[in-house]
Amino acid sequence: MIAALLAAVLLAGAALPAPDARTIPAERVFAFWGEYHALPQDERSAFSLRYELRTPPGPDGTERRFWTGAGDGDWQALEPGPDGAVTPPAPERLAAGLLLATDAPQGAVAVNVQFVLTGAPAQTYALADLQAALAQTRAAMRRALGLRALIAPRPRRVDFVFDGAAPDAYAVFADGREVELASVFENVVQLDPGARELRGAQTIRFGRAPDAARIIVAN
């Protein structure tokens, strides 16, 4: 009896990627990823979701580790970037019961989900594309929240984040006029695509491409 229990414990430990790892359903970590992909393509073409996993380092200063797997011993490392960003697993794997394992202690992992523009950061953006991104994000939130969307924060603007001081930024109009944007804060340019002063503008041009373009949800 004791030998059987010991064997079961050893087998359970062998199925984990590390002796001190614990597992949670990956679908809880990557919330809304499946719902996002369930939207028709033309209702999510202008925005996506970005996930960050953050945790304090271990006692010896080493970074905490993450893995994904089905719990059968076939684990794949999930390595956050310098800013904590990770690529979510395929929605069908999440729906099939994929697990996320980590050697971080209970309550030490913070998950941050952001709305972002699709596509690689660029030096020039069509204003119509930015307006479409906010409109699609609002519609997706209404679909997900139902009546709660009436009192929930809403997508309000796009924050263009730069590595270092933000460059000059301009709204370019059809007649060739360029109006410098005033909402520049250190390494961020904040833009409300529906602002009155941007009526008639066609593109937004930066001195260099941003590192990220995030859709900000606020009251």
In this predicted structure, which of 2-6, 13-17, 28-32, 184-188 has the lowest mean pLDDT? 2-6
Q: Which of 13-27, 87-101, 189-203 shows the lowest mean pLDDT across its residues?
A: 13-27
pLDDT of 216 strictly over 90: yes
The residue that leads in pLDDT, 162 or 59, is 162
Separation of alpha carbons 113 and 77, rounded Å: 20
Confidence of residue 26 (pLDDT cuts 50, 70, 90): very high
- CA dist list (Å): 18 to 21, 38, 60: 5, 34, 17
49 contact partners, CB below 8 Å, separation of at least 6: 32, 33, 36, 88, 113, 114, 115, 116
pLDDT at 158: 98
Question: Does 2 have pLDDT greater than 80?
Answer: no
Tokens of 119: 């596509």
Question: Per-residue pLDDT averaged across 106-130, rounded?
Answer: 96
Q: What is the pLDDT of residue 132?
A: 97
Q: Quickly state the pLDDT bin for 15 (edges 50, 70, 90).
A: low
Residue with tokens 């699609």: 136
Helix H or strand E encompassing 173: strand 169-173
Q: What is the mean pLDDT of residues 51-77?
A: 90
What is the band of 183 on the pLDDT scale with cuts at 50, 70, 90? confident
More confident residue, 148 or 36: 36
